[in-house]
């Protein structure tokens, strides 16, 4: 029998946590309630009809917020759990937090941000380009952050589920950043580049059933191919910070400072820097000391 690393409703085995550390990704059994997933889908519908439980200024300008009428391609709704209570119940689930804490070997897991990624069926241009989540979080001190990828329905191969390059969290720093982007549509360029570096390009398709989710390391390269089925592929990506993460100043290649959207809306510490433990923007999903939050 496998031993658990946490006294949580659904914990990750020690072996699975070690697998995550080695490969940069892991999948869970069916641990999320159907009702919670239905509620998140209802929350997305509410959002698309204009409902907001909390209004975040600058939607669509400072962060992606696809709305009906915005046209074809991948539909990206960022910071949805802060705006919609139904979505937050799934995104901030202690089950997700406890499993992420075990994988990352940390006592606390807080939200960093989240996004619903919806790829309509049959649109061959709707892909998610190869990228590394950590590249979008330059102001985070931690290299132990991770993402929970939660499909909101069964996600077999033809729906274009998440694809992670096995072990890439250990070598992604060698890859030319200019060819990595969530918004890129060229899925073949990276293969040639990685092989040219003498590294192994080993894509793992994360086909999951509803109720399962996967975790990937903040330095793991991942993306997703087109949805070839005739229905939408909807997934909630919950980007998580470990307890130790805090703000660090960062600059863009052109020398300008990096400012994330959540930097703009969260509390500031005594030095005037963003406080990545402000519970109104970064709620705690799990804290081993406090058990369930």
Ligand X SMILES: O=C(O)CCC(=O)C(=O)O
86 versus 137: smaller Cβ distance to ligand X: 137
**Cβ 163 to ligand X, closest distance in Å?**
8
Residue 47 partner contact from Fe ion, ligand X, none using kind-dependent CB cut-offs of 5 to 8 Å = none
The residues in 94-153 that bind Fe ion, with binding defined as CB under 5 A, are 133
Contact (Cβ atoms closer than 8 angstroms) between residue 247 and residue 259 = no
Token couple for 145: 């952050």
Of 224, 241, 262, 277, the residue at the interface with ligand X (CB under 6 A) is 224
147 is an interface residue for ligand X by CB under 6 A: yes
DSSP β-bridge partners for residue 131: 222
Asked if 237 touches ligand X (CB under 6 A), the answer is yes
Instruction: State which of positions 126-145 bind ligand X (CB under 6 A).
Output: 128, 133
Picked from ligand X, Fe ion, none, the partner binding residue 247 (CB below 5 to 8 A depending on kind) is none
- The label of the residue with tokens 């139904």 reads 86
The sign of the CA dihedral 167, 169, 172, 174 is negative
Residue 109 beta carbon to Fe ion: minimum distance, rounded to whole angstroms: 17
240 in contact with ligand X (CB under 6 A): no
Does 159 bind ligand X (CB under 6 A)? Our answer is: no
Shortest Cβ 12–Fe ion spacing (Å): 21
Interactions with ligand X, residue window 78-117 (CB under 6 A): 117
CB of 149 to Fe ion, least distance (A): 8
- Does residue 252 sit in helix, strand or coil? coil
Q: What's the CA gap between 187 and 224, in Å, rounded? A: 9
Residue 216, helix vs strand vs coil: strand
Angle, alpha carbons 157-146-61 (nearest 5°): 85
- Residue 86 contact partner, candidates ligand X, Fe ion, none, CB within 5 to 8 A by sort of partner: none
Give the closest residue to 111 by CA, choosing from 138, 87, 75: 87
Residues in the chain: 293
Q: Does 162 bind ligand X (CB under 6 A)?
A: yes
Report CA-CA distances (Å) from 263 to 57, 218, 284: 13, 19, 17
Binding-site size, ligand X (CB under 6 A): 10
Closest distance to Fe ion from the beta carbon of 83 (Å): 20
* Residue 242 interface partner, choices ligand X, Fe ion, none, CB cut-off 5-8 Å depending on type: none
Examine residue 149 and tell whether it contacts ligand X (CB under 6 A). yes
**Cα 190 from Cα 176, distance rounded (Å):** 9
User: Residue 161, Cα to own-chain centre: how many angstroms?
Assistant: 13
For the CB of residue 235, give the shortest distance to ligand X in the complex, in Å: 4
Q: How far apart are CA 274 and CA 105, in angstroms?
A: 25
3-state SS assignment for residue 168? helix
Interacting residues with Fe ion (CB under 5 A): 133
Binding site residues, ligand X, CB under 6 A: 117, 128, 133, 147, 149, 162, 222, 224, 235, 237
């Amino acid at each position: 029998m496998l031993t658990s690393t946490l006294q949580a409703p659904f914990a990750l085995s020690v072996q699975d946590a070690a697998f995550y550390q080695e490969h940069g990704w892991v999948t869970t059994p069916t641990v999320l309630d159907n009702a919670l997933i239905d509620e998140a889908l209802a929350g997305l519908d509410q959002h698309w009809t204009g409902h907001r439980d909390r209004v975040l200024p600058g939607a669509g300008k400072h962060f992606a917020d696809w709305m009906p009428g915005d046209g074809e391609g991948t539909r990206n709704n960022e910071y949805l759990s802060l705006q919609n209570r139904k979505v937050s119940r799934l995104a901030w689930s202690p089950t997700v937090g406890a499993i992420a804490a075990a994988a990352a070997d940390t006592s606390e897991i807080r939200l960093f941000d989240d996004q619903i990624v919806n790829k309509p069926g049959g649109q061959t241009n709707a892909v998610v380009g190869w990228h590394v989540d950590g590249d979008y979080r330059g102001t985070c001190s931690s290299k132990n952050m991770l993402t929970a990828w939660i499909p909101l329905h069964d996600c077999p191969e033809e729906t274009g589920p998440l694809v992670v390059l096995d072990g890439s969290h250990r070598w992604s720093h060698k890859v030319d950043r200019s060819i990595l982007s969530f918004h890129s549509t060229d899925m073949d360029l990276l293969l040639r580049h990685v092989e040219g570096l003498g590294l192994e390009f080993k894509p793992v398709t994360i086909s999951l059933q509803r109720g399962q989710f996967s975790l990937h390391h903040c330095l793991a390269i991942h993306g997703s191919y087109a949805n070839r089925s005739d229905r939408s592929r909807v997934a909630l990506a919950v980007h998580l910070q470990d307890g130790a993460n805090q703000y660090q100043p960062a600059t863009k290649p052109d020398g300008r400072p990096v400012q994330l959207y959540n930097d703009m809306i969260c509390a500031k510490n005594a030095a005037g820097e963003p406080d990545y433990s402000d519970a109104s923007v970064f709620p705690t999903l799990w804290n081993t000391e406090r058990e369930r939050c």
